Structure 1
Amino acid sequence: MSTATIAPAAPVLDLDARLALVDAAMSVRLAEAAVAFEVNTAHLPGADPIPHIAEILPHQPAAAPSPYRTPLADLLHRARLRIEIDGWCRDAAFDEAGAVCPIQAIRVEARGDRDLAHDACVTLLDAIQDNFADAETIPSWNRQQTNVRPVLAAFDRATHRANARNR
C-alpha cells in the first residue's frame, strides 16, 4: 500500500505583498541593468553616469485665477481656455485627441450646472450672431469655421457681454 503525501498549500498573498515582491524584483533588475550600463560604457570617454530619473507625474498647468467674478463670465472664460489648451473640434463634440467644440467646452466647465451652461450657450450664440447674423445654432456656425480664431473671438465677446451685465 502506498501512502500519498499532500503538499502544504501555498500561502495566499494579498495585493500589497504581491506588489512588494514585484517591486523587489524590479529593483534587482534595475540595479543589474545599471551595473551592465556602467560596464558597457566605461571605455567611452564622454559617457555620463546614469542620471537619476525622478518619477514625474503628468499634470495640468496651474490655471491663473479668472479675472471675472460673475459666474457666467467666469464659465465662458474657462470654456475659452479649455479650447485653447485641449484644442478646437469642428465637426463633433470632441475627438480622440481631446479637442472640444464650444458647447462641449461649456458643458465640461459648467461642472453639471445645466442652467449656467444653458445661459452660457445663449450668451455665446448672441455674441456669434453679432458678427454672423445668419448663424442659427452654435454647432452649425462652428462647422463653417476654418480655424479657431473666430471661435475664441466669439467667446471673448460673450465673456465681456456677460461681465458687463454682471452675470
Structure 2
Amino acid sequence: MPPTTHSPAPDHRSPATTAPTPPTALTLEERMAFVSAAMTVRLDEAKVAYEVNTAHIDTEPFDLNDVVTSPLDPVPVMLHDPYQTPVAAILQRAHQRLRTGGWCSGALVDEDGARCMLGAIRIEARGNKGVEADAAAVLLERIRLQFGDVESVPAFNDSHGGGRIPMRMLDHATGVAANRGL
C-alpha cells in the first residue's frame, strides 16, 4: 500500500475574518458623555422611586399653629442673683429687666414701661447712687472697649434701633464686674 499522506485540515475561516482589535482608550469627552448618560438613567430611576414612595403622602395645606409652638414661659424668671457682688448683681438684674420689661431708646422709661440701659440700671440700684454710678462706669468702659469712643451709656443706647446689642453689652459688663469683684 502506498504511503498515505495526511493533508492539513481544511481551513473553515474565511479569508476576510481577522482577530478582534484591542479596545482603544476613550477620550475625556467620550468618558464624560458615558457618565452623563449613566447619571441621567440613575436620576430618572430615583425620580420614579421618589414619586412611588411619596404618592401616599397627604399634600393638603397645614396650619402653622400645629407645627410651630412657643415655650410656655418665654423668659426664664430669675429667682435669685447669681452674682454676689453688688455691681454685677445690678447689671445682671438690669439685663433681666430689659428682657422681661422691654427695651427702649430716647427715654429712661417709655409710656409702655420699657427702659433704656441706664433706666434699667437706675431702677435696679434702688436709689443707691454709688452702685448705680459704678455699674454705669463698668458698662461704659465695656462699650468703649468694643465700640470705640462713645460719649455715654444713653448715647450708646439711643444709637441702636433694637435692644439686642445694648442687652448683650449689659451681659458682658455683668461678667466684667463679677470678675473684678465689683
- With normalisation by structure 1, the TM-score equals 0.61
Query: How many pairs align?
Result: 107
Identity over aligned pairs, percent: 39
Equivalent residue in structure 1 for 2:99, among 84, 99, 106: 84
Aligned-residue offset at 1:118: 0.4
How far apart, in 2, do the equivalents of 1:89 and 1:144 lie? 11
How far apart, in 1, do the equivalents of 2:91 and 2:83 lie? 10
How far apart, in 2, do the equivalents of 1:128 and 1:109 lie? 20
Equivalent residue in structure 1 for 2:172, among 157, 160, 165: 157
2:128 pairs with 1:113: yes
2:156 pairs with 1:141: yes
How far apart, in 2, do the equivalents of 1:141 and 1:112 lie? 23
Which runs of structure 2 are paired with 1:120-135 in the superposition (5 Å)? 120-135=135-150
How far apart, in 2, do the equivalents of 1:152 and 1:64 lie? 20
Aligned-residue offset at 1:135: 1.0
Which runs of structure 2 are paired with 1:65-76 in the superposition (5 Å)? 65-76=80-91
Listed as ranges, the gaps of 5+ residues in structure 2 are 1-75
Higher-Rg structure is: 2
Secondary structure in 1 aligned to 2:82? coil
Q: List structure 1 segments (4+ residues) > 6 angstroms apart after TM superposition.
A: none
How far apart, in 2, do the equivalents of 1:160 and 1:79 lie? 13
The residue identity in structure 2 corresponding to 1:83 is L
Over the aligned positions, Cα root-mean-square deviation in angstroms equals 1.3
How far apart, in 1, do the equivalents of 2:102 and 2:84 lie? 25
Secondary structure in 2 aligned to 1:68? coil
Equivalent residue in structure 2 for 1:100, among 108, 115, 121: 115
Q: Deviations over 1:124-146 (max 9, x none)?
A: 10111111102111111111112
